[in-house]
Amino acid sequence: MTKFLRHATAFLAAAISFSALANTPSVSPAKPADWCKLLTPRLPGVSLAACQRSALIPTGAHSRNGIPILMRSIPAARKGKHGEPVRVLLLGGIHGDELTASAIVFQWTQWMQSQPAQEFSWHIAPVVNPDGLLARKPQRVNANGVDLNRNFPTPGWEKDAQRYWAKVTGSDPRRFPGQSPLSEPETRWLNDEMERFRPDVIISVHAPFGVLDMDGPAKAPHRFGRLYFSRVGVYPGSLGNYGGLHKNVPVITIELPNALAMPPQAEVQRIWQDMLVWIGRSVSPQSKKTAALSVQRTAATAALAAH
């Protein structure tokens, strides 16, 4: 009976969550910039003018509720130390109730003319989960009640994701991974974007743990601003697990200390500056990695032949 009540409670909570998300706007404004009129009331510290200056455009993909997923592409303006730009995929708002995670990415888009940001090629999506952000009450999950950060196709997802959800989270509806990997249009878009853009590093902003985490190959940063490196964990279906451990792309997870209140402006700048320095020092273009691996393989082959 206790097990039945637990699952019934989880089902009821999911139904309430879905009901709230049903109020998310499903009719697109005429112009992409007009989306800022809907977004900025939810974005702490982001003005309508700043949002519109972000120059986001529709990607062609839509959320479960039909809201366009917006992105800005900024090519490198100058050569870096590698001769070709590092490709950075910068993401915010995978969880719709982490308002600062989207807001800080909007702020950073205003500083793309700084050095060394101009040495990198950027794809920036500040609101990956618009359904959750624009729901009557902002929600972690999308309009289908799925935690997008548990919906990526990590190895063994079919066996591990549902079991982890039931046994570890107690079937928490805020962490429901979906019925199958990439079941949601938002995660399918992000997976496709990773294939198209082939990022050398992914920066994903969350809240409210107040730490840094990293998955995948690269030297982990010591800190960005006042956020120190601390392992958060590896979860079935998470972007860090999928991108960092499966696709071998470094994934930095920035956990801001508060989901609703922005850090002081000086701290926003320090996180940004430290992040740029870390990318410049620790991340190289994929072609350079491929070339280095080829040299290593050639050397190994020559050594074997010599014996």
Is 113:156 a contact under the CB 8 Å cutoff?
no
pLDDT above 50: residue 296: no
Which of 12-26, 28-42, 172-186: highest mean pLDDT? 172-186
Mapping DSSP to helix (H, G, I), strand (E, B) and coil, where does residue 50 land? helix
Mean pLDDT, range 36-60, rounded to an integer: 93
pLDDT greater than 80 at residue 140: yes
The reported pLDDT for the residue numbered 256 is 98
Report how far Cα 150 is from the mean position of its chain's Cα atoms: 12
Q: What is the pLDDT of residue 15?
A: 40
Q: What DSSP character marks residue 229?
A: B
| DSSP strands (E only) in 163-250 | 201-206, 211-215, 223-224, 227-228
What does pLDDT average to over the chain?
Answer: 86
- Above 70 in pLDDT, residue 161? yes
Q: Which residue has the tokens 């990293």?
A: 214
Confidence of residue 28 (pLDDT cuts 50, 70, 90): low
pLDDT, one tens digit per residue, over 78-106 is: 776 667 899 999 999 999 999 999 999 99
> 207 and 258 in contact (C-beta within 8 Å)?
yes
Query: Terminus-to-terminus CA distance in the chain, angstroms?
Result: 69
Report the share of the chain in percent with pLDDT over 70.
81
| Region 273-287 average pLDDT | 92
Q: Tokens 């989880």 map to which residue? A: 10
Q: What pLDDT does 184 receive?
A: 98
For 35, the token pair is: 């989306």
Cβ–Cβ under 8 Å, residues 28 and 39: no
User: What amino acid occupies position 282?
Assistant: S
Q: pTM for the full model? A: 0.85
Buried b (16+ CB within 10 A) or exposed e, 217-253: ebebbeebbebeeeebeebbbbbbbbbbbebebbbbb
Q: Angle at the Cα of 21 (from 17 to 22), degrees rounded to 5?
A: 115
> 65, 21 in Cβ contact below 8 A?
yes
Q: At what angle do helices 265-282 and 99-108 cross, to 10 degrees?
A: 70
